[in-house]
Structure 1
Amino acid sequence: MADPAPSISYDDFQKADIRAGTIVKAEPYPEARKPAIKLWVDFGDPIGIRRSSAQITAYYQPETLVGRQVMGVVNFPPRQIGKFISEVLVLGVPSADGEVVLLSPDQPVPNGGRMY
């Protein structure tokens, strides 16, 4: 497990725009250096659909992800991941064996709902 990060102010926390979204499309990304899945996540208006490359192949298959709600940071700058532009960081935590487990609301929430 990682050590705790240094303390930050609530204002610093508010700078991270973390929202709920629904995966509307998922495809394998075999060209990625590490196994990954390309995701298209609908964060509702005014954010819309954003793309993400996620290293989540240990527990997830593309066909099982469509319709699933996830949490993502929507205000990071886009990042080039191979030939794919990742526009949002979908959030997860490591399992006991170090593989990513997606974070998601435990009840359905509106797309675009902001975490606070």
Structure 2
Amino acid sequence: MAEIMFDDFLKVDIRAGRVLRAEPFPEARKPAIKLWVDFGPEIGEKKTSAQLTAHYTPDSLAGRMVMGVVNFPPRQIGPFMSEFLVLGVADPDGGIVLLAPDQEVQPGERMQ
């Protein structure tokens, strides 16, 4: 992978957010969940969909902290407009595991 400069990294706005609600997304081509996340007073609430069904249910996500890229342009995913990219990594079977702070932080805090 190509090296980037620190200024390039700073262009990616990664923030902590708290999941306000989550719903199944049966219209998605691959199993997915719709998320509405609070990114604090500066950014507010944003929504996305993610293929998280291997490890999470909608009920298990409400109230949970996540990390997301909040400065990508919105993207239409079927009938749903995704406004940010929730971050995760794949487990050995390809299921996505969410990235999140391991201590309590305020929604909207930027990754340093």
User: TM-score, normalised to structure 1's length?
Assistant: 0.95
Match in the other structure for 1:97: 93
Q: Name the CA distance, whole Å, in 1 between partners of 2:104 and 2:30.
A: 31
Q: Match of 2:25, as an amino acid?
A: Y
2:61 to 48, 65, 74: 65
Structure 2 residues not aligned, in runs of 5+: none
Query: What is the percentage of aligned positions where both structures have the same residue?
Result: 65
Using the TM superposition, give the Cα deviation of residue 89 of structure 1 relative to its aligned residue in structure 2, in angstroms: 0.2
* 2:43 paired with 1:47: yes
* 2:108 paired with 1:112: yes
Q: Match of 2:40, as an amino acid?
A: G
Structure 1 residues not aligned, in runs of 5+: none
Deviating 4+ runs (over 3 angstroms): none
Cα-to-partner distance string for 1:47-89 (whole Å, 9 max, x where unaligned): 0000000110000000010000000000000000000000010
Q: Name the CA distance, whole Å, in 1 between partners of 2:105 and 2:23.
A: 24
Using the TM superposition, give the Cα deviation of residue 21 of structure 1 relative to its aligned residue in structure 2, in angstroms: 0.1
Q: Match of 2:99, as an amino acid?
A: L
Tell me how large the CA RMSD over aligned residues is.
Answer: 0.5
Aligned length: 112
User: TM-score, normalised to structure 2's length?
Assistant: 0.99
Q: Name the CA distance, whole Å, in 1 between partners of 2:66 and 2:3.
A: 26
Q: Match of 1:109, as an amino acid?
A: V
